[in-house]
Amino acid sequence: MLRPLAHSQHTPLTATSGDADTLEARLGALESQTGEATRLIAELQARDRLKTQFLANISHDLRTPLTAIITHAEILGDGMLGELTERQHASVSGIIKGGRQLLAMVGDILTYARGAADQLALVPSTFALAPVVDQMLALNAPVAERRHVTATAELTPDLPPVIADREKLSHVLNNLFGNALHFTGLAGGGRVWVRAAVEGVDDERELHVEVGDTGIGIAPEHHDLVFREFAQVDSSTSRRHHGTGLGLAIARNLVELHGGRIWVESALGQGARFHFTIPQPLPPVTATHAAIMRPDPDAP
Amino acid sequence: MTARRPAVLIVDDSPLVTDALGVLLEASGYTTGSATTVADAVTALRNERYDAMLLDLTLPDGDGLEVLGSAEEANLTPPPTLALTGHDDPATAARCREAGCVAVLVKPVRRIALLGALQAAGVAP
């Protein structure tokens, strides 16, 4: 049970009377309060670790039945057990779509929890960025069309192969791009773009990616807030986005795992430009970070 | 005369998973058996001839990879084995390969990935 700090902490710590006993008593009280505060901090940190582990466990356990539901629905939807009528197919498609959406959200929570518990490992490789971006554009093309959004990619022609964890870089790109599409769609349509270049020289080289849009924008006072977990900027307006509120917190986590930075430039009604950088090559600290990662022994 | 359908042993502690993968594989031309523990899996390998095994890493009575070692100790030759894991970290993948798995599939496994991996392992209907 957490106990509040003793209210005597507000007693002024001054001794004008020269009364050594009083001063000693107050110092003693201060030491006691400091000890209590230290104990309280340790207890809160322990509870935070428990919460994170609980999140990882529960989200992991949710995936098993959810995956089974989706697999069964896909078997039916693909006609592997017999042809479906059009209405049956539409219904099964709804189960698959909803299931995949839920699975993605559970996956986000699991990624966040593992990141918070330092259980995410980088798997760096050298690869061309263009196919990753092209695949993302192709996957999102139907959504972009439906939302009247024009999506483009501008990669510098001499962009060299990049060094990063391909899957995690792709996760960050897809998250930023998905947000850009969503909030541009809410603005009634417009443009979203991805720009990428390797900037700097020698040890200062870094991959710089910009995902921009002409959507509804974010007020400057909320720029830091959007990268915090469970944050939804201005929940009273159309900026509200149905989701876990973890997408950008995870993106920040994954970029920082690479030793990079992520930030946003935006104003309300003026679109948004999300930027992130990844050092080229990756700093040694990320290799060390990866080396100390350990798999969750309780997970299959 | 019809050709024998390849048999796959599905080892996972969740019947939800063994059921779903069983339906999927049987609809794709395989026959299947299932086991939910290391001990059951070794017994199944002793009693039936399987052409491939899908092996979850976390089982109630031990590490899934123990199935491979226990089978060899019992003078059984385990079939080509595809590990099923919830982790995509390199350490887990390396551990599976060292134990003799021919492929490592990260859950949730998509149908195309599963059938492709079985085919790559030379086990196709």
Q: Residue B8 and residue A80: Cα distance in Å, rounded? A: 18
Q: pLDDT, tens digit, for every residue of A267-288?
A: 988 899 999 999 998 876 554 3
Q: Is A295 within 8 Å of B107 when comparing Cβ atoms?
A: no
Distance, in Å, from the CA atom of B79 to the CA atom of B59, rounded to the nearest integer, reads 19
Locate all alpha helices (DSSP H) within A79-237, ordered by sequence: 86-116, 129-146, 166-186
CA distance B113 to A125: 22
Report the gap between the CA of B27 and the closest CA in chain A (Å): 6
- B92 contacts A300? CB cut-off 8 A: no
User: Closest Cα of chain A to B21: distance in Å?
Assistant: 8
* ipTM computed for the complex: 0.78
Which secondary structure element, helix H or strand E, spans residue A290, and what is its range? helix A284-292
Contact B91 A294 (CB under 8 A): yes
B90 vs A contacts (CB less than 8 Å)? 121, 123
Asked if the Cβ–Cβ distance from B86 to A81 is below 8 Å, we say no
Cα A193 from chain centroid (whole Å) = 20
Q: What contacts A245, CB < 8 A, 6 or more positions away?
A: A229, A230, A231, A232
Give which of A61, A62, A64, A286 to mutate to test B binding, by max B Cβ within 10 Å.
Answer: A64
Residues of B in contact with A74 (CB under 8 A): 111
Structure-derived torsion over alpha carbons of residues B45, B49, B53, B55, reported in degrees to the nearest 10: -20
Question: Is residue A112 within 8 Å of residue A55, measured between CB atoms?
Answer: yes
Lowest mean pLDDT among A96-105, A207-216, B34-43, B76-85: A96-105
Mutate to test the interface with A, among B21, B34, B65, B87 (most CBs of A within 10 A): B87
What digits encode the pLDDT tens for the residues A38-97?
Answer: 999 999 988 888 887 787 778 778 888 888 999 999 999 989 899 999 999 999 999 999
User: pTM of the predicted model, to two decimals?
Assistant: 0.66
Do A300 and B23 count as a contact with CB atoms less than 8 A apart? no
Over residues B32-71, the pLDDT tens digits come to: 999 999 999 999 999 999 999 999 998 999 999 999 999 9
Pairing label, strands A149-155, A272-279:
unpaired
pLDDT band at A292 (very low <50, low <70, confident <90, very high): very low
Q: Which residues from A are below 8 Å from B92, CB to CB?
A: 295
